[in-house]
Amino acid sequence: MNSNAEKILDTFTESKVKDAHFTKFARDLVSHLKDKQQKVISKRFGLSGRKRSTLDAIGKEFGVTRESVRQIEVASMGKLRKVSKLDHNKEIFVKIRTLITQKGGIVSEDALATELIADLEENRKDEIKKTMRFLLLLDEEISAIPEGEHTKSGWSLSSYALNMIEDIIKAYVAILDQHGEVLADEALLSAIAQNEVSEKHKKNISPEFLTSSLDLASKIHLHEGGKRGLITWPWIKPRTVRDKIFYVLSKKNEPMHFADIATEIEKSNFDHKKATVQTVHNELISDSRFVLVGRGLYGLSTWGFEAGTVEEVIEKILKKADGPMDQKDIVNAIMAKKRVKKATILINLQNSKKFKRTKEGWMLVEG
């Protein structure tokens, strides 16, 4: 073994691998290929900052058929599998298999990248995951978990069948759906242990496997406070502007001005879609879940706020009353349903032709 190889090998015996060493290892591995093979592999896996290319795109660039490119890829990966088994290359693959084993035999792509790379930066995550995918496809003891209806991208030991992973994940989704609210991992793990799916796969699953399954579930999202819920719930992972408004108000738990709601949506960075102040205001007006409770202030109808003007709400309260109401009781009732000043309530009460004051209190004008 040459001194350079020994130096790289030493870096892999640490608890984690540095980004630069990991990337260099992949680059050195590819260097065993002929020039054309290197280009095909680098383009197919998006290595060294490249975007992933299709067989057709590479074929057009090289002036050959997509089948020719596919054959070059297959032959190149075959050669690299042999090279990866050499003593000075095995350590990194052993390390990755060990990490996956510690996670219960399965792991999400994001979790593996975080566990593997010591100095992983957010802007390097995609590049590291592409490099990791290239390397792990060389290891016959590791299988890719494809991104699908139930799973996020991840990896498993080859002995773990995809249908078993999906069975566990679907059971988790059913548990959350039945409860209808976010649950902590402890509660979910307790529930899955009592589920028939655990009995079905008891020979192959462990507590670590069950925990890793949660991270792989594409329909389950880790919410604030460390609890998990379904992405179909608007308060978990909002997609539309209306759902984002609902999320922001629920989190604030008190009325907010429509401009502040728009600002908070922008700060929350739900996605790359912009939510203008005007768009937010339009959605607040058109959705019955949101109630105007003051000047530009909106709250949720589930909080007990009443839609309509102050005058309209006073009218509703007096209609429900058994008889005349004391001014103080009217003010208190309105304050519970609208976020307005006492003076605003009194002005609406005294200036409206719909109400009259008697010795017993305020009541509606008949007619």
What is residue 48's predicted lDDT score, i.e. its pLDDT?
82
Question: For 263, phi and psi rounded to 5 degrees?
Answer: -65, -40
Burial of 331 from C-beta contacts in 10 A (0-12 / 13-18 / 19+): middle
Note the pLDDT of residue 310: 87
Give the pLDDT score at 4.
Answer: 47
- Looking at residue 61, its amino acid is E
Is the model's pLDDT at 176 over the cut of 90?
A: yes
* For range 345-354, the mean pLDDT: 90
Strand runs (DSSP E) across the chain, as ranges? 106-108, 142-145, 154-157, 183-184, 220-222, 227-230, 256-257, 290-292, 297-300, 355-357, 362-364
Question: What percent of the chain clears pLDDT 90, i.e. is strictly above it?
Answer: 64
The rounded distance, in Å, linking the Cα atoms of 37 and 267 is 45
Domains in the chain, start-ordered, CATH in brackets? 3-145 (no CATH), 161-230 (1.10.10), 241-303 (1.10.10), 310-364 (1.10.10)
Q: Taking residues 81-105, report their average pLDDT.
A: 92
Beta bridge partners of 156: 106, 143
Query: Token pair for residue 334?
Result: 């309105």
Cα distance between residue 310 and residue 28, in whole Å: 73
Structure tokens at 195: 């589920």
How large is the average pLDDT for residues 299-317? 85
pLDDT class for 94, splitting at 50, 70, 90? very high
With tokens 């060493």, the residue in question is 21
- Bigger pLDDT: 305 or 193? 193
The Cα angle at residue 276 between residues 273 and 278, in degrees rounded to 5: 140
d(CA 268, CA 257): 16
Nearest to 46 by CA among 115, 130, 125, 128: 130
Which residue, 94, 217, 208, 204, is CA-closest to 154?
217
For 45-72, how does the pLDDT look when each residue is reduced to its tens digit (9 = 90+)?
999 888 899 999 999 999 999 999 999 9
CA 267 to centroid of chain Cα atoms: 16
Out of 31-45, 171-185, 257-271, which region has the weakest mean confidence (pLDDT)? 257-271
Which two structure tokens, joined as six digits, stand for 115? 């566990």
**How many Å apart are CA 279 and CA 266, to the nearest integer?**
13
**8 A C-beta contact, residue 268 and residue 244:** yes
Most confident of 143-147, 251-255, 305-309, 339-343: 143-147
Q: Give percent above pLDDT 70 in the chain.
A: 96
